[in-house]
Structures are given as C-alpha cells and as structure tokens.
Amino acid sequence: MNRYGIDIWGKQHFDIKDGKIVVNYRSKPAIIDIVKSVRKKDISGPILLRFPHLIQKQISFLYDTFSKVQKEFHYKGSFNAVFPLKVNQYPGFVKNLVKIGKPYNYGLEAGSKPELILAMSYNNIGSPITVNGFKDNEMIVLGFLAAKMGHNITLTIEGINELENIVENAKNFDGVVPNIGLRIRLHSSGIGIWAKSGGINSKFGLTSSELITAIEILKNNNLLPYFKMIHFHIGSQIEDIAPLKKALREAGNIFAELKKMGAKNLTSINLGGGLAVEYSQNEDSFHKNYSLEEYANDVVYLLQDIAKRKNVAEPDIFIESGRYIAASHAVLIAPVLELFSKEYSQKLLRLKEKNPPLVSELYELYKDINKKNALEFLHDSLDHMESLLTLFDLGYIDLEDRSNTEILVNLIIEKAIKLLADKNHKELLSIQDRVQEKYLLNFSLFQSLPDNWGLKQNFPVMPLSKLNETNKRSASLWDITCDSDGEISFDIKNPLFLHDVNLEEEDYFLAFFLVGAYQETMGMRHNLFAHPTEVSIDIDETSFALNNIKESKDILQILDEIGYDKNEVINILKEKIKLALNNKQEIEKTSSMIKIFLQDNGYLKTDIIQPDFFKEDK
Ligand SMILES: *Cc1c(COP(=O)(O)O)cnc(C)c1O
C-alpha cells in the first residue's frame, strides 16, 4: 500500500485507516467524512480545514522539549517564544493560537504596523511582543503606546536611526519605555531557498561597530537599562543544523561582550525563526537533518558553554519559530473535477469499414494486449501514434482516424498500466512519465500554494480515499486558472501516483498538507479566485464539530476589493439588460439570474443548474 510518505511528513498527526486518511486524534475522524459534512452545507470548491489541536500540539511540543532539555542541563535562563505574525495573520488561526498559547505565556512577533496593531489587540497581556523589521517614527510611537497599555514589548532595532527615534520618543512618554532589542548582523548565514536574512550581507542587523555606537547612544541617554535583548534570524526553513550552531556561537559571544560593556539588564538572546518542517514524501529525499530535541540541545548546550567560559549569567532564550508552529494546522482540500483521459472511452471509437492500416493495427494491439506482451505493445502503440499524427499533418488521414488513434492509444495505456501494475521497474516509471494522467483540481495554485509557484516548494499531497486500492496513474495536477504555470507536473524523482476514478460515480479529493505557514496571505487573486472557504475542525472523543465557517468571498466582494464599486457594476449590468430586452418579465428574470452568480464565489461547480434554481432570489 502506498502511504504517500505520511509517516515522514505526517509526524503522527494523520494516519490511514480502512483506505481513508484519518486525523490521528481522539475519535480519529476520516478527513473525507469531514469534507462531506462541510459540502452538505451547500459549499463547493476548495476547502481549507484548520485543526486547532495541531496548533496546541506544536506549541506544547516546543515548550516541553525546551523545558526538558533545560532541566537536563540545569540551565538557569528561561525559555520564551513568540509567534511571528507574518507566517499567518488569519483570524481563524491567530485567535486559536493566542487562546491556546495563554498558559505558556506564548507571545506574538510583529514586523509591520498592521501586525503590531494585531499583536496589541490579541496578545495576552504579560506575554511578550517582539517587533522586528524596518520601523518609522510612527511604528516606534505605536511601540511606546503598547508599553503604556501594559504590554511586555521589545522593539528590536535594525539601524541606528531607529534608536535615535526611540531616544526622542522616550522624552515624551514620562518614563514609559518599551524594552529595547538590538538585531545583530552575523557572519554566519543559513542555507536554502529562504536563507537571505542572515549573513554579513543581509538586509538586516547592526555591525559590530554599530553595536558599540548603539551602546554609547543608550548610555548617553540613560536608556541602557531598557536594553534587554539581542536578536538574530538566519533565515526560514533552516534544513541543516550546522549554520545555526555557528550563529549561536557568534551571538553567544556578542551577548557576553555587550554585558561586559555595561549592558547589565541584557538578559535575552532571541534566535529568530527558522526551525524547519519536513515536507518530503519520499524517504530518499529528507529535507532537514535534525529534530527539535537536537535543536534544543544545541541551543542550550552552546549558550551555557559560552556563558560559563565568559563568566556571564546564562541568557533567557527567546525563539520566533513560525513555520514549525503553523504549517501542520491547515490542510487544503481540492476536489478533482476531471481526468483528461476519460474523454477517451471505447464507446467513442468511430472505426470505419476500411481504416488506415496503422489504425487497424492499433485496434489489434488493444484487443490482444496481455501481461506478457504489455510493454512491447505499449511501445508499438506509442510509435504508431507518432506515425499517425505525422500522417494527419501531411493530409493522409482524416479527423476521425486521428480521433480513433488518440482513443486507442489511451485505452492501450490504461490496459498496459493495469497489466504491469505489480511491476515496479524503471521502464514502467519512464512510461508512466510519458503517459501522465492530468487531474483537473478545483483550486488555484496561485491563491492556495504560492510557494509552489514561486519557489517550487513541494507540499505533501495525497487522495483522501481509496488508499487500499491500486494507484498506478502517474499524475500531473492542474488548477483551474487560465495560466499554464498553474500546474504541478509529474516528477519522476518524486512521482505521484493516483487512482483511476470515474467521477460520474464517485467524488475524488486530493489533500495538500502543511499549508498553514505563509501560503494564505501570500496567496494571490490571479484570475480573481479568492481565499477558499475555511472551517475549523474541533474533535472530541466521539465526533467532530465544524466551527467558524468562513465562505470564500463572492464575486461582488472580490470586485469590490480590487476597487470596483459594487453598485456601479450592478447598475451597468441592469442598464445593459434593459437596453437589450424590452419585456419587463424577461428583464427581471435575466437580472435575477445574474444576481445569483454575483453572490456566489468564482470556483467551479459540478452540479448542473436546475431551472427552478433561478425562480426566486436566493
Ligand atoms: C520570518 C521571521 C521569523 C519566522 O521564521 P520561520 O522560519 O517561519 O520560523 C522569525 N523571526 C523573524 C525576524 C522573521 O523575519
């Protein structure tokens, strides 16, 4: 049975039972049953399922692991964490996160003014807020206001001018000053497609000489007591632990040196994010080379070692892992709309009294193919097809012959793959590469998996059901945008095999996993496809509940968001209908039909529209 690598990327969050994926928690519901109950509510198109218990699981695993390691090492500093909002700012996620994070004192990180406002609103008072990124005077004022509201906030300075802004504002806030952090620029940097945030040429952080200047400015303005934290972030999805260790040594020594320079209240090192997620579906290509335990061991051991050698107190540890916390909580469900080869069925053959000899031969191959000759017949048929297509281009055969060719070759491929199913040799793989089945999925790659489009990031994908049946169709996945980049092609190194399904008889859904980090806000409205319908799934010992259903935006809302005036659109449509039709009843009927579409989302529907659907205003 193909488990689609669920044991590699799934981390026991999910399992397979009776041929279906189940959520491996309490009553262990099958995801397909969850999807069916959502669709019963008249919801079609793609669905984003959120699992709050997976946010809980990741947060508690993070805290428990560090707490265990700190105990083992008798480490005296504390452990603290904040969630970087840029990874997922959606309310369906953030509201759950702050509720779950409360007992841990789990905080939020903000990198822009809107994110800071979110943090000031939703963060639990007392839990830390850290602020990174470039800040103008307004953003710094916001930081002071947050401190005034009682938030435990640290403004991390990216450049000397930000520090000068803090000095100026401190004069106006009667002794209320946020904690100050300094982002340090390290020599070491991460590796991988996201690692542009670290290193000596990185966009962010203070050089050694700027650090010394910063300490002087703080001293001269009596603000040194507010300097509490140094911060670094060497990039996202750090797949190799080595650069992190190097960065830790560098940061640990800078921490000790700054304390020696008089920064008495400097107590914390903030390691930023970067904890990697295992996206691989394939045992031969693991993405990361460490576990959370190893990461925690390295952090605690190295910081303790430096503190001992330099004779300073062991620092409080802060981390800002986003991807690691958020990725697993969301699963995107995309209904399969069509299998392209299904257009080629035997009943569509239009064989003539006298066919071109190669077509007749194709027909013989189709009739006579068996287990022994399957590979040979498959090769022959592909050869014949090449020849027949050339003959068509030269005008020697007609469209009916060409259609018969396409149908017969597809039928032969289907038979051959079934006959060869138990073989798994290289040649079969290369044939499957040539004869991919195209699965059309009701979703937009640009909206829901932008990192696949922009960075070629793979997300684990598998069908929700039929997992105890043979799956030998080499699959390429197409989205419904009118863009040829909206495709996940078959990759012979990382092959995806799906089932042969008859969509007239049964539904078939694919699920993309680990989509909870970065994908939602970065998703774009290419072709005006909106964020999919989202639902939170709360699971107990006996069943599951659908909560916080947010339907995908309707067509009018989407037009409104890109700057059209809804009423103007409606009025123009009405005017045009009036001009074209002169019968009052027809005008009303046509208008109300269009209105129904305006109030629905733009994803595709599979049902045939019934005439009575239009009778009344829905
Ligand atoms: C993006 C970012 C993070 C989060 O990184 P992950 O790889 O998602 O853990 C943390 N801190 C800072 C400063 C960031 O810019």
Q: Is pLDDT of 109 > 70?
A: yes
Atom of ligand 1 nearest to the CA of 235: 7
- Say what the pTM is: 0.94
Mean pLDDT confidence for 142-163: 97
Rounded to whole angstroms, the Cα distance separating 492 from 515 reads 23
Give the model confidence (pLDDT) of 376-405 as tens digits.
999 999 999 999 999 999 999 999 999 999
Which residues have any ligand 1 atom within 6 Å of their CB? 84, 86-87, 109, 132, 233, 236-237, 272-275, 320-324
Q: Band of the pLDDT at 618, cuts 50, 70, 90?
A: very low
CB 318 within 8 A of CB 229: yes
Question: Of all residues in the chain, what percent carry a pLDDT higher than 70?
Answer: 95
Give the model confidence (pLDDT) of 213-264 as tens digits.
999 999 999 999 999 999 999 999 999 999 999 999 999 999 999 999 999 9
Give the model confidence (pLDDT) of 567-596 as tens digits.
999 999 999 999 999 899 999 999 999 999
Lowest mean pLDDT among 294-298, 340-344, 457-461: 340-344
Does residue 133 come out as left (phi exceeding 0), alpha (psi in the -120 to 50 range) or beta? Answer: left
Q: Which residues of 23-57 are buried (b: 16+ CB within 10 A; e: fewer)?
A: bebeeebbbbebbebbbeeebbbbbbbbbbbbbbb
- Listed in sequence order, the residues at least 6 apart from 584 whose beta carbon sits closer than 8 Å to its beta carbon are none
If one compares 284 and 90, the residue with the highest pLDDT of the two is 90
The strand ranges marked E within 111-151 are 128-131
Mean pLDDT confidence for 278-283: 93
Mean pLDDT confidence for 527-534: 97
CA of 476 to the centre of ligand 1 (A): 32
Give the model confidence (pLDDT) of 607-616 as tens digits.
766 656 655 5
Name the residue at shortest CA distance from atom 2 of ligand 1. Answer: 273
The predicted pLDDT at position 493 comes to 86
If one compares 375 and 442, the residue with the highest pLDDT of the two is 442
Q: Which fold has domain 75-320?
A: TIM Barrel (3.20.20)
Angle 72-74-80 (CA atoms, 0-180°, nearest 5)?
90
Q: Is pLDDT of 344 > 90?
A: no
Rounded to whole angstroms, the Cα distance separating 115 from 107 reads 13
Atom of ligand 1 nearest to the CA of 273: 9
Give the model confidence (pLDDT) of 297-334 as tens digits.
999 999 999 999 999 999 999 999 999 999 999 999 99
Give the model confidence (pLDDT) of 196-212 as tens digits.
555 656 667 899 999 99
Domain residue spans of the chain? 75-320, 555-598
Mean pLDDT confidence for 487-507: 92
Q: Is pLDDT of 190 > 60?
A: no
CA proximity to 533, closest of 380, 259, 335, 358: 335
Atom of ligand 1 nearest to the CA of 156: 13
CA of 251 to the centre of ligand 1 (A): 17
Which tokens in the block code for residue 35?
A: 């999807």
Which tokens in the block code for residue 231?
A: 């911060």
Atom of ligand 1 nearest to the CA of 321: 9
Lowest mean pLDDT among 147-161, 356-370, 414-428, 473-487: 414-428
